[in-house]
Structure 1
Amino acid sequence: MKRIKLGALAAALLLAFAPVHAGAAPAGKVSATVSAAASKQFLKLADEYYDAVARFEPVGATENGDNRFDDQIGMAIAPAERARQFARYRQFQKRLQALDRRALTRSDQINYDVLAFELKTLLSYQPYPGHLLPISQMDSMPITLANFAGGEASQPLTNVPQYDAYLKRLTQLPAWIDQAIANMQEGMRTGVTQPKAIMLSALPQFQKLVSATPEQSIYYTPIKKLPAAFPDADKVRLTAAYRTTIETKLMPALARLATFLEQQYIPACRTSTGFSAVPNGAAWYAVRVADSTTTNLTPEQIHAIGLKEVARIQGEFARLGPKLGYDGPAAGLPVWVSQQKRFFPFKTDAEVQAEYHKLNAILDTKLPAMFTLLPKAKLDLRLEPELSRDTASDHYTAPAADGSRPGVFWSVVTDPTKYGNTGMTTLFLHEGKPGHHFHIALMQELGLPNFRKFGGNTAFTEGWALYAETLGREMGLFEDPAQYFGHLNDELLRATRLVVDTGMHAKGWTREQTIQYMKDTLGYDAVAKSETERYMAWPGQALAYKIGALKIMELRQRAQAALGDKFSLPAFHEQVLGDGTLPLSLLEAKIDSWIAKQGARP
């Protein structure tokens, strides 16, 4: 992949990591000395910035593991509040620029650069009316709060204060719904609407939220699960309060929303597919691409990278097929594998779990050769609870910051006889270790300020996890052709995303054209429609995975080429993970300076 040109921030970070040799003048004739007072001042600003973001989007804070604002939903979609938040960002940026970066410790110089990058990215969205698109089939406040209702998601529901916090969120939801309707009406007037196709997919979600009685509402679920240990007085109070709030406030608001979507919004939605169809859409998409990838790659460059990766992986399919007993065209391999009973060997949930435990034990013997920097938190392996099993997919949840809960890899087994085993190795490498667990659990232990501990970016997070999958090959885990197929099959989806996301939003591809390309490329149509509509709702988001993995692999290859026998894979991995999540451009600067230091003569 073409090397990304370093920007000013990355160049600054490169100086932060660059070694100063004996007798050499410090870079830039730095006169300031490292100051504890300067770092204290910076960290105060950083904490104020994080709290401003968390208060602006408190549900996002909850989802990131910060439960201080669990009783608020915020009104980030309100134009006036949005304007105030951008003013806050500009003020934080001004205060940050007034600090002497040279007086900070090395770690705070990194924090400084990440904060500068974040503020620049946030402010890049100001010209574009994202608040006019508050609802899609992928996310919205009513659906998010509905998903919290079971107490199995990010918002805990185990004690009375937590029940009160969720109730307070429910009382705020009607105002959010009315603001969303007003925003969508403004979008209808200005041409900023969602594509009609994805709103037709979304409509049933919102219709299902409408209930005939409070007791039938999904938001009443906490009352159905009231812990027996709650005091009787609290049980009576909470039951009455939930019922009244849902009946008098929430049910009418949800009905208004469903009716508005069906009768007014969907008929007015655009019939186009890509973001380029909305006012200033091409520039808006470019901002989203830069945010998602944390690079300056253009949509055209990413499209070309995607085509190249698709061709490479399909070439691997062609070589792999005969090893599995398949002699048809490469594109037909995934469907053929899905029809082979030998790849679906499980009869019980316990058998699936046993296979993951076996893999976990194997990795415990192999990963020490690749990693010296490891999280202290343990990784637990659990089955997804039955309540959420039908809607969840295999995933990872981070350990508690206080060490009270381990990291967890959740396997979702709705029917063990249909749980294929070909993708299990690559999945566990991604969601478990050394993927998300080695990165996200470690983030809790690095002593980072809150804006980094609870923040981050998808390009690094998912890029690392996708890169971690590739390590299975050198650990010998893909010598089984079936497991290597599973790895390639997942990788092909990530590569295809680069082609179709940029195809839709930058090259004028239609929804139907995109669905067909995915069917032809992946060899199956199970996800073609849902994935296409995901990319329509979240322009640019799906680019992060593959771009991140390719950048980490590129940096590894660069280090190996430059250092030769001096190259240490555990040391490289420590460099990638050791300072937490970084924008890719800053990660590149860090690795370049590490290479220079490793190769420097005394």
Structure 2
Amino acid sequence: MKALFTLGAVAAAALLACAPVTAAPTTPPKPASAAATVESRQINALADEYYESLARFEPVWATENGDSRFNDKLGLSISPKLRQQQFALYRSYLKRLSAIPRERLGSRDQTSHDILKFELDTALRLAPFPEHLIPIDQMVSMPVILANYAGGQGAQPLTTARDYRAYLSRLNQLVPHIDQSIVNMREGIRRGVVQPREPMLSSLPQFKQLVASKPEDSIFYTPIKNMPASFSAAEKRSLTTAYRKAIANKLNPALKRLATFIEKDYLPKTRTTAGWNALPQGAAWYAARAAAMTTTSLTPDQIHQIGLKEVARIQGEYGVTGPKMGYTGPAAGLPRWVSEQPKFKPFTSDQQVIDVFRELDAKVRTKLPSLFNLMPKSPLDLRLEPELSRATASDHYTPPAVDGSRPGVFWSVVNDPKQYGSTGMVTLYLHEGQPGHHFHIALVQELGLPNFRKFGGNNAFTEGWALYAETLGKEMGLFDKPEDYFGHLNDEMLRAARLVVDTGLHAKGWSRQRAIKYFQDTLGYSEHEARAQIERYMVWPAQALGYKIGSLKIMELRKRAQDALGSKFSLPEFHKVVLEEGTLPLAVLEAKVDRWIAEAK
């Protein structure tokens, strides 16, 4: 997924004065279906109310997750006052939830009860920590999110005059958001809650680049340059004038204030430490984030040990695969050797890279029916990451629009095609495309779930499923070439090594340089590649933990079902059980699979 975390209440409340409506909202998502019992009506009404408050609190989060009703709103969730109001709502929702007897609900409503309780408990566990005081980093910030929308290829559509007015409304609201960010960061300096220095140094060029010498040179003016021919002459004149005035008189001065503040005031006050445990209440803060992102009660130390065990296991696989590729050195050196082989960097243009992904896409489509009897109806598209965010972005997936106006998209990041390695392309496609994120996230929108389950989620299931989906390349015959299987192992190693370095940085006092060295030694990364990864974990503590923890749980449940059911086990049916109720906390998923095993027996 892209920058916004997928944890429902946690994503909106912990990580991210709406202006008047300028565009009529699209048709609201259908609420939960009418229920026969009082208790069922209560849980569905509460779930719908919870989602509406969440989407209005974080409208960009709603847009990113496919709900376009709030595309003209930006929100100001980083306002201390609004944060407190939202947490008060969560407390009231939790009180109402506890009054609904779970045992009197049907199966699907019980699942909603369990998910809602997890999300509310998690959000309130994070409430004491001042996430709003660090609203900007090199990975995600509201100015860059809106800049990425300017081309009309992102989550926010730009095809009608109404779309243009909605985006303009957000640009106008970006000004108070920037000013609130500066206020918050000044308070963060006062309280010792600041970002590490190196990631903020990486972010500064982004914000300087957003400042234009004149409106027409601004990236936020891009929609005007791309106006559809179908717009009337009056609409074109009106929108051109409005965009030019907003950029020249409001947005550009605000962006300049932000860039100047970061360079002159904030950077000198950033910290030299790398981990969250250096912040006030940092150890408890990180533990809360680890629990949120893994949906487990695992401690950072337990996660660290799991990571070390997985790294050792995968290095054992390197020892078998390396000789098949012509490598005869120690297993741990295989990634570095591969990174130095010119034959695994065959590209000279961005187009060649995306063409290989499209060929792979066509091949995978022929394999999927044998593994799945539940598949999304929404199409998948493959696109290159926009130039502005390419330097700091990771490959990612964005979901389709619920109304069908936008497909799911796998965004491929190609900075220098001559340095783009081919060995990891199969597993990357399986993760970000299908059957990874697309089969889960697009499908969630088609299952008739309550809105908070349709548009929400959690990191462990979302990324855990995508990492598990990578392993299906073996069943599809996509890893027959040793270099492609190495690519799979190396991506799996990345997720295992993340468990080690993320907990190392934030719970064990690792320095940035130690974490970079670990990635270089374990994954064969260059210093530049390792630095980009480590700086991501420095500002997104615990986000990277969900991948491996979730994947290990799904693989554990598959083996449990295979052992219990023997010849009765059906892989398509197992996948259906995992996917058919959308995104679940891992404990809820485990209980669901155990019920299926008992019934199948």
Task: Give me the TM-score of the superposition, normalised by structure 2.
Answer: 0.89
- Say if 2:538 is the partner of 1:575: no
Deviation at 1:414, TM superposition (A): 6.5
Give the equivalent residue in structure 2 for 1:518. 519
Residue 321 of structure 1 is matched in structure 2 by 322
Q: Which amino acid aligns with 1:328?
A: G
Residue 504 of structure 1 pairs with residue 505 of structure 2: yes
For residues 433 and 390 of structure 1, the distance between their equivalents in structure 2, rounded to whole angstroms, comes to 22
Deviation at 1:205, TM superposition (A): 1.5
Query: In 1, are the aligned partners of 2:65 and 2:399 still within 8 Å (CA)?
Result: no
Query: Any residues of structure 2 matched to 1:14-93 within 5 Å, and which?
Result: 35-93=36-94
> Which TM-score applies when normalising by structure 1?
0.89
Residues 311 and 540 (structure 1 numbering): CA distance in 2 closer, same or farther, change over 3 Å?
same
Question: For residues 446 and 513 of structure 1, do their structure 2 counterparts lie closer, same or farther at Cα, with a shift above 3 Å needed?
Answer: same
CA RMSD of aligned residues (A): 2.2
Which structure 2 residues correspond to residues 209-228 of structure 1 after superposition, within 5 A?
Answer: 209-228=210-229
User: How far apart are residue 309 of structure 1 and its match?
Assistant: 0.9
Kept in 2: contact 1:133–1:193 (CA 8 A): yes
What's 1:231 paired with? 232
Q: How many residues align?
A: 565
1:215-294 superposed matches below 5 A: 215-294=216-295
Aligned residue for 2:10? none
* Corresponding residue to 1:541 among 540, 543, 546: 543
Q: Does 1:560 align with 2:562?
A: yes
User: In the TM superposition, what are the counterparts of 1:471-482 in structure 2 within 5 Å?
Assistant: 471-482=472-483
Shift of 1:338: 3.3
More moved, 555-564 vs 111-120: 555-564
2:134/2:188 contact within 8 Å kept: yes
Deviation at 1:408, TM superposition (A): 4.0
CA contact 1:292–1:543 (8 Å) conserved in 2: yes
Partner of 2:534: 532
Q: How big is the shift at 1:397?
A: 3.5
CA displacement at 1:385 relative to structure 2: 7.3
Task: Indicate conservation of the 8 Å contact 1:435/1:465, yes or no.
Answer: yes
Deviation at 1:404, TM superposition (A): 5.1
Q: Deviations over 1:391-411 (max 9, x none)?
A: 565443433323455444455
Which residue is 1:123 aligned to?
124
Counterparts of 1:428 and 1:176, CA distance in 2: 35
Give SS of 1:114's match: helix
Give me the whole-angstrom Cα distance separating, in 1, the residues matched to 2:468 and 2:503.
22
C-alpha deviation, 1:550, in angstroms: 0.7
| 1:372-400 deviation line (CA, Å, top 9, x unaligned) | 222233444x4437767955654434333
Query: How far apart are the structure 2 equivalents of 1:241 and 1:361?
Result: 44
Per-residue deviation, residues 491-549 of structure 1 (Å, max 9, x unmatched): 11111110000000000001111111111111122421011111010110011111111
Which shifted more, 500-509 or 470-479? 470-479
Shift in Å, 1:301: 0.5
In structure 1, the residue matched to 2:590 is 588
**More divergent stretch after superposition (38-47 vs 414-423):** 414-423
- Give SS of 1:68's match: helix
Determine if contact 1:359/1:425 at 8 Å carries over to the other structure. yes
What code does the residue aligned with 2:132 have?
H
SS in 2 for 1:472: coil
- Which position in structure 2 is the counterpart of 1:10? none
Residue pair 1:114, 1:583 contacting (<8 A) in 2 also:
yes
Deviation at 1:282, TM superposition (A): 0.3
Q: Distance in 2 between matches of 1:394 and 1:131?
A: 26
Displacement of 1:419 after TM fit? 4.4
1:400 is matched with which residue?
401
Q: Does the 8 Å CA contact 2:347/2:417 hold for their aligned counterparts? A: yes
Structure of greater Rg: 1
| Aligned residue identity for 2:436 | G
> Hey, what's the Cα distance between the residues in 2 that align with 1:348 and 1:197?
30
C-alpha contact (below 8 Å) 2:155/2:398 kept by paired residues: no
| Unaligned stretches of 5+ residues in structure 2 | 1-34
Distance 1:561 1:409, change over 3 A: same
Cα deviation 1:144-192 (Å, max 9, x = unaligned): 1111111111111111111111111111122111211111111111111
Match of 1:384 in 2: 384
Looking at structure 1, the residues matched to 535 and 412 of structure 2 have their Cα atoms a distance apart, in angstroms, of 25
Structure 1 SS opposite 2:312: helix
Indicate the larger mover: 330-339 or 479-488. 330-339
Q: Alpha-carbon deviations, 1:226-251, whole Å to 9, x = none?
A: 22221111211111111111112122
Q: Quote the Cα distance in structure 2 between the aligned partners of 1:189 and 1:490.
A: 40
Other-structure match for 1:302: 303
Identity of aligned residues (%): 63
Counterparts of 1:348 and 1:131, CA distance in 2: 40
For 1:337 and 1:181, how far apart are their aligned partners in 2?
44
> Post-superposition shift, 1:413?
5.7
Whether the aligned pair in 2 keeps the contact of 1:323 and 1:481 (CA below 8 Å) is yes
2: CA distance, partners of 1:397 / 1:283: 32
Change in Cα spacing, 1:148 to 1:357, as seen in structure 2 (3 Å) is closer
Tell me whether 543-552 or 468-477 shows the greater mean CA deviation.
468-477
CA 357–187 in structure 1, closer or farther in 2 if over 3 Å, else same: closer
CA contact (8 A) 1:389 1:412 kept: no
Task: Give, in angstroms, the shift of residue 330 of structure 1.
Answer: 2.6
CA distance in 1, matches of 2:555, 2:339: 30
2:469 equivalent in structure 1? 468
Q: Distance in 2 between matches of 1:259 and 1:349?
A: 34
Counterpart CA distance in 1 for 2:379 and 2:172 is 38
SS in 1 for 2:474: helix
Structure 1 gap segments, 5+ residues each: 1-33
Is the Cα contact below 8 Å between 1:35 and 1:105 reproduced in 2?
no
- Compare 297-306 and 525-534 and name the one that shifted more: 525-534
Partner of 1:154: 155
The answer to whether the Cα contact below 8 Å between 1:389 and 1:414 also exists between their aligned partners in 2 is no
User: For residue 94 of structure 1, what is the amino acid of its counterpart?
Assistant: K
Rounded to whole Å, the distance in 2 between the matches of 1:98 and 1:153 is: 41
Instruction: State the AA in 1 paired with 2:505.
Output: M
Q: Which amino acid is the alignment partner of residue 445 of structure 1?
A: E
Structure 2 residue identity aligned to 1:194:
Q
Contact preservation (8 Å) 2:63, 2:71 = yes
2:448 matched to 1:451? Answer: no
For 1:189 and 1:386, locate their aligned partners in 2 and report how far apart those are by CA, in whole Å: 36
DSSP-derived class of the 1:396 partner: strand
**Structure 2 Cα separation of the partners of residues 312 and 568 of structure 1:** 28
Distance 1:396 1:176 in 2: 26
- Distance change (3 Å), C-alpha of 1:252 and 1:356: closer
- Answer whether contact 2:210 2:255 (CA < 8 A) is retained: yes
